[in-house]
Structure 1
Amino acid sequence: MAVEVVEAPWGAGVPVERFEEILKADKSHLIKAVLVTHNETATGVRSDIAAVRRALDAAGHSALLLVDGVSSIGCMDFRMDEWAVDVAVTGSQKGFMLPVGLAIVAFSRRAIAAIEQADLPRTFFDVRDMARSYANGAYPYTPAVGLLNGLKVSAEMLMAEGLENVFARHRRIASGVRAAVAAWGLELCAAEPSLYSETVSAIRTPSGFDANTIISHAAQKYDVAFGVSLGEVAGKLFRIGHLGSLTDVMMLSGLAAAEMAMADVGIPIRLGSGVAAAQDHYRAAHADRYKVAA
């Protein structure tokens, strides 16, 4: 199997125009699938899946659209039917607020038809075997009962809150984090606002500062875990996750910890500046929902 990798700068989104060029040039439809990450956690970048679908349609191409939604599904607007996504994968550990352990995969009817036509021998990844087991009230292997019960509860929690409210909460919390980053005088890895993730912010540290020192210091001194940087941005940024079971007030504590850790390692920020900016944002965001008498 040949895989064509389409490169893009770290901090950029999916190069949709390049995708369309490649698909239009593939007159024989040798390309069988287009793989895209909806929300890239290493850089805090969200890509436009609807635009990728339009590129496929503009090229008149039959390739399946496969989407990694691990850090977006359950947190950000994801429209499998509307965007004609054929396979979407997520995990239990992000928007579903559970420990690591479940891979959650959804298939379109077109993807199921492609599976039926495939003749590659397989067992573990044969979803037909799984479907037969499910139809008989069974499981194809030893089930993770605790995680499955937890998934039922987390799905009920999301539906009780209402998906639009879940998405709005993530947007609000993420915007508060971005307000804090701006107050610190720092920048995000994501190249421009349309790419900003609602679930993770990758924050660039000033030149000459190793971002990993912030992460290790925060863990050792304050018992707070921030995300490390990877690949081309290793040592150049740290990541703040803001997804799942999270409130504005919980996020403020994380921002305060980030400020203390940065100040401790010598980054010239004013303690309280980012927290205050986020507080202002959250108070304004709630102003129309809760009126307080003077």
Structure 2
Amino acid sequence: MLAKGREILMIPGPTNVPDEVLRAMHRPAIDIRQGPLVELTDRCLADLKAIFRTETAKTFIYAANGHGTWEAALSNTLSPGDKVLVLDCGRFARGWGEIASALGVDVEVLPGSWRSAVDPDALRARLAADTHGTIKAVMTVQVDTASGVLNDIPALRRAIDAAGHPALFMVDTIASLGTAPFEMDAWGVDLAISAAQKGLMTPPGLGFIAAGPRAFEAHASAKLRTAYWDWTRRLGDEHYMKYCGTPPEHLLFGFRQALDLLLDEGLEAAFRRHAALSGAVKAAIAVWAEGGAIEFNILEPAERSASVSVFLTPGFDPAGLRRFCEEVCGVTIGGTIGEIAGQGIRIGHMGHVNAPMILGTLGAIEMGLQALAIPHGSGGVQAAVTHLADAVARAR
């Protein structure tokens, strides 16, 4: 009925691709062994270091999605039978652990909750009990898009240090890089991974790794190394081998443009934008929750991410509301997955997103709540408007 016009995609990934990025990809193929593509690769690798905030790590680009990059991180640093500790807080740290298990790695999951961040004290206690240092790596996500949680990466690093444990600290930033502060060197992260299709505003298909000195020490003796993922093979002078084969040229053209957009905005400005837009969404949810049929999945406000907001719907089936938003309004929002599948809604707000997109999405949801007679507090959109107006005023 009201869905004509440009559709709005507000899921936790893939996210909206800027028109400038799409235009950058609309060009002929070029030589893969010399000339402009070589320079483009060098610039992308250097700018990735700036975005990961590292001077000590080496960066890599893979023709792969995030799951492939998980495997690249594991195969380059571990051997069959090595033990890793996965920090549970949602679907995606567990998913990384499942990849590790399939490779023959011994995976232990540190119990956690889908409704809160990883507990640093629990991590410290588990590592302190590992007196023989059998745990070779600690694996976590900064943001889990299934639960909506934001983990305190510096606090987890301090917990590892307090236990005096030598495990590598590996962090998945797929849903956080470019949307929230991440300081690889300052926070003592040994290996970080990411992917193109969320805060980095590029179509799916590129994965990234930043590998620090301790990760490279482990790489020297890793027995899971395979030709495609292997860092050593990708570090030679031959451009072709930086991708272990034909480079994904058109994705690289798009990614270069996306990097330019992000760096022109400035990382700190991008973080402020995401914080303001996320705060607006959460202000609306808080008002809607007053009706008793909606509640935040993540209980502590400080642990809610700036990338995605997840709310549960114990008072109704969320499928009808999602269908209303898409079919009546042309707005696509996400359903919950994993342990909370079918129990709520996920609103993605990362990457190429602005205030009208957020307010339009919230307006569609609030209209759906009213049209479907779902109990909710009224004035959620107004709360979002007020939040954004206050954020703009503070920034002046």
TM-score of the superposed pair, with normalisation by structure 1? 0.92
Deviation at 1:229, TM superposition (A): 0.8
Alignment partner of 1:108 is 2:212: yes
Corresponding residue to 1:253 among 352, 360, 372: 360
SS in 2 for 1:34: strand
In structure 1, the residue matched to 2:239 is 137
Corresponding residue to 2:192 among 88, 103, 117: 88
Q: Aligned AA for 1:136?
A: E
Gaps spanning 5+ residues in structure 1: where?
A: none
Q: Please list the CA deviations of residues 147-172 of structure 1 after superposition, one character each: whole Å capped at 9, or x if unmatched.
A: 11111111111111111111011000
Q: Please list the CA deviations of residues 86-142 of structure 1 after superposition, one character each: whole Å capped at 9, or x if unmatched.
A: 11111111011111111111111111121122233522221211222xx32223122
Q: Aligned AA for 1:266?
A: A
The 1:47–1:288 alpha-carbon spacing in structure 2 relative to 1, beyond 3 Å, is closer
Higher relative contact order (CA 8 A, sep 6+): 2
Partners in 1 of 2:157 and 2:394 — Cα distance? 36
Corresponding residue to 2:380 among 269, 274, 287: 274
Deviates more, 1:273-282 or 1:30-39: 273-282
Q: Aligned AA for 2:303?
A: L
Deviation at 1:222, TM superposition (A): 2.1
Q: Is the 8 A contact 2:287 2:377 kept in 1?
A: no
Partners in 2 of 1:122 and 1:266 — Cα distance? 56
Alignment of 1:1-294 (within 5 A): 1-132=105-236, 135-138=237-240, 139-184=243-288, 185=290, 186-207=294-315, 209-269=316-376, 273-289=379-395
Deviates more, 1:184-193 or 1:27-36: 184-193
Q: Please list the CA deviations of residues 66-92 of structure 1 after superposition, one character each: whole Å capped at 9, or x if unmatched.
A: 111111011100110011111111111
Gaps spanning 5+ residues in structure 2: where?
A: 1-104
Aligned length: 286
Q: Is the 8 A contact 2:139 2:170 kept in 1?
A: yes
Partners in 2 of 1:81 and 1:144 — Cα distance? 29
SS in 2 for 1:32: strand
Partners in 2 of 1:211 and 1:20 — Cα distance? 38
Over the matched positions of the two proteins, sequence identity in percent amounts to: 38
Deviation at 1:15, TM superposition (A): 2.1
TM-score of the superposed pair, with normalisation by structure 2? 0.69
Deviation at 1:220, TM superposition (A): 2.4
Partners in 2 of 1:197 and 1:21 — Cα distance? 26
The 1:270–1:6 alpha-carbon spacing in structure 2 relative to 1, beyond 3 Å, is closer
Deviation at 1:288, TM superposition (A): 4.2
Q: Aligned AA for 2:387?
A: H
